[in-house]
């Protein structure tokens, strides 16, 4: 059975990383300007600034929120017994998300302290693409549940559809993730088109696959 205490013990590195994010925020707070760049458009231009509190503690607070959510989800899930069957994968997913946010916070600090203004537009797509590749690699090992993985009406209604959709989704996430990594180095309009097409490929591809497979299995069972 999934154990909260056991999970926290395995999450020591995550807890240290989140704590480090807050410590870094406290350390740099006196040295930061009142306004910090927070958002970049597809052209790589800064289009929103935030307060230094938001810039230094927004991502650490988000990371803490995500981590706490990851801890309680197995207890809220009607299929909680399945989490033990993909516990290692669940750990990897947690680590991947928190590391993604940690890297993003470091990039914002570097830019604010005088680093290259196009660092965020380059590094963010690379991190997103890498995240898709990591998730795709482990996706086939995710067992049926209500919160993690490809949750469509058809995967949640049929275990065979869940299993085969996640195997297919794993491949398509890797295929879609690779071009996303390089979008930050492409001309503005092209990077937006490739980003949208890659995400549509992953989202619509897996959704349609699960629907078609479900219909096919339903017809087979009726015959």
The whole-number pLDDT of residue 130 equals: 94
* d(C-alpha 59, C-alpha 62), whole Å: 5
pLDDT above 90 as % of the chain: 66
Lowest-confidence pick of 24-38, 87-101, 132-146, 198-212: 24-38
* Cβ count within 10 A of residue 222: 6
Average of pLDDT values for 56-67?
95
* d(C-alpha 72, C-alpha 24), whole Å: 27
The whole-number pLDDT of residue 4 equals: 65
Average of pLDDT values for 78-92?
92
The whole-number pLDDT of residue 5 equals: 67
The whole-number pLDDT of residue 145 equals: 96
User: Encoding tokens for residue 197?
Assistant: 């097409």
Average of pLDDT values for 121-149?
94
Local confidence band at 27 (pLDDT 50, 70, 90 cut-offs):
very high
Local confidence band at 200 (pLDDT 50, 70, 90 cut-offs):
very high
Distance, CA of 15 to chain centre? 18
The whole-number pLDDT of residue 10 equals: 84
Residue-averaged pLDDT of the chain: 90
Task: Give the model confidence (pLDDT) of 158-181 as tens digits.
Answer: 999 999 999 999 999 999 999 999
The whole-number pLDDT of residue 32 equals: 87
Instruction: Say what the pTM is.
Output: 0.87
Which residues share a beta bridge with 69? none
Local confidence band at 1 (pLDDT 50, 70, 90 cut-offs):
low
pLDDT at residue 129 greater than cutoff 80: yes
Q: What is the 3 state secondary structure string of 49-108?
A: EEEHHHHHHHHHHHHHHHHHHHHHHHHHCCCHHHHHHHHHHHHHHHHHHHHHHHHHHHHH
The whole-number pLDDT of residue 95 equals: 94
Task: Provide the sign of the torsion angle of the four alpha carbons 70, 88, 100, 150, taken in this order.
Answer: negative
pLDDT at residue 223 greater than cutoff 70: no
């Amino acid at each position: 059975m999934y154990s909260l205490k056991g999970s926290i013990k395995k999450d020591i590195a995550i807890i240290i990383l989140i704590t480090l994010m807050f410590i870094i925020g406290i350390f740099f707070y006196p040295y930061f300007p009142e306004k910090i760049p927070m958002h970049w458009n597809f052209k790589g231009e800064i289009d929103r600034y935030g307060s230094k509190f938001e810039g230094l503690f927004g991502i650490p607070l988000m990371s803490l929120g995500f981590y706490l959510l990851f801890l309680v989800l197995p207890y809220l899930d009607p299929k909680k017994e399945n989490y033990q069957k993909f516990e290692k994968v669940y750990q990897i997913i947690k680590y991947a998300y928190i590391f993604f946010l940690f890297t993003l916070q470091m990039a914002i600090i570097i830019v604010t302290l005088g680093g290259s203004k196009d660092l965020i537009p380059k590094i963010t797509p690379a991190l997103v693409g890498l995240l898709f590749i990591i998730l795709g690699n482990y996706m086939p090992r995710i067992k049926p549940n209500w919160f993690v993985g490809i949750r469509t009406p058809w995967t949640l209604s049929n275990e065979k559809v869940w299993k085969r959709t996640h195997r297919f989704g794993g491949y398509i996430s890797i295929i879609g993730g690779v071009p996303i990594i390089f979008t930050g180095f492409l001309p503005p309009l092209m990077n937006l088109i490739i980003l949208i097409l890659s995400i549509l490929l992953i989202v619509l591809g897996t959704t349609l696959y699960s629907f078609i497979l479900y219909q096919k299995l339903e017809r087979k069972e009726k015959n």
